[in-house]
Structure formats: structure tokens, C-alpha cells
């Protein structure tokens, strides 16, 4: 993996390291938003099944290690987010219109 940067790097010509990073609360807000998109997930899986009736995409459960959450609600949120991201990745490789924002936000799904 030559050329892959790991960790913080001092920009060329500068003496200080750029240590900007996302706060963990920002990441949780993103995951939390995705975890509430149950209807987008359902509609997306329905349309995917119409596109490819032999697909097993609907069987992906999005399992999450129980050590990654403290409450059942957060566990469910993480599973939904994981399934939605899995669907979105496959969708974007297959269709011209991207799942986010084209499908999920413009189709009237809350």
C-alpha cells in the first residue's frame, strides 16, 4: 500500500501538523439521521427487488457487534444505517441517479 497516508501529516513547507478532525457527536448525528430513514430503506429495497428479483440484498441484516451500543434503540439505529449504506453503495454502482440525494430526498420520503 505504497503512497497511502496513515495518521496526521505535516504539510510540505509547514512546521505544524493539521489536526482537524470531526467530533464524534457529528458522526453520531450522521449515523442517527441514517438510522431514522426506515422508509427510504424500505422503498429502496422494494425498487431494488423490482430491478433484480434474484438479488439477496434484502437479506443483509446489518448486524452490529453488541459492544458498539448501549441501548436497543441505538443498536436498531446502527443496523438500519448499516443496511441503508449497504443499499446505497450497491445502488450507486448500478443506477445513474445516486441514492443520496437523488432518490432518498427527492422522492418525498421523510
Query: In this predicted structure, what is the pLDDT of residue 101?
Result: 78
> Cβ distance 42 to 83 under 8 Å?
no
Go through 88-103 and write b for each residue having 16 or more CB atoms within 10 A of its CB, e for each that does not: bebbeeeeeeebeeeb
Residue 13: the pLDDT is 77
pLDDT interval class at 44 (50, 70, 90): very high
Question: CA-to-CA distance for 99 and 101, rounded, in angstroms?
Answer: 6
Q: What is the pTM of this model?
A: 0.74
62: phi > 0 → left, psi -120 to 50 → alpha, else beta; which? left
Q: Which of 14-18, 22-26, 57-61, 67-71 has the lowest mean pLDDT?
A: 14-18
Least confident of 7-11, 37-41, 49-53, 106-110: 106-110
Q: What is the pLDDT of residues 54-75, one digit of tens each?
A: 999 989 999 999 999 999 999 9
Q: Where would I find the H helices in the chain?
A: 24-35, 38-51, 72-94, 104-106
Instruction: Give 10's Cβ-side CA count (13 Å radius).
Output: 5
Confidence band for 107, pLDDT divided at 50, 70 and 90 = low
The pLDDT value recorded for residue 105 is 65
Amino acid at each position: 500500500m505504497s503512497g497511502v497516508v496513515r495518521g496526521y501529516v505535516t504539510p510540505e513547507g509547514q512546521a505544524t501538523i493539521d489536526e482537524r478532525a470531526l467530533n464524534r457527536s457529528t458522526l453520531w448525528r450522521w449515523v442517527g439521521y441514517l438510522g431514522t430513514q426506515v422508509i427510504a430503506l424500505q422503498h429502496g429495497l422494494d425498487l431494488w427487488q423490482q430491478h433484480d428479483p434474484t438479488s439477496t440484498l434484502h437479506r443483509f441484516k446489518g448486524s452490529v457487534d453488541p459492544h458498539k451500543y448501549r441501548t436497543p434503540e441505538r443498536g436498531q439505529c446502527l443496523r438500519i444505517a448499516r443496511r441503508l449504506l449497504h443499499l446505497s453503495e450497491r445502488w450507486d454502482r448500478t443506477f445513474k441517479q445516486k441514492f443520496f440525494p437523488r432518490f432518498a430526498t427527492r422522492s418525498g420520503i421523510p
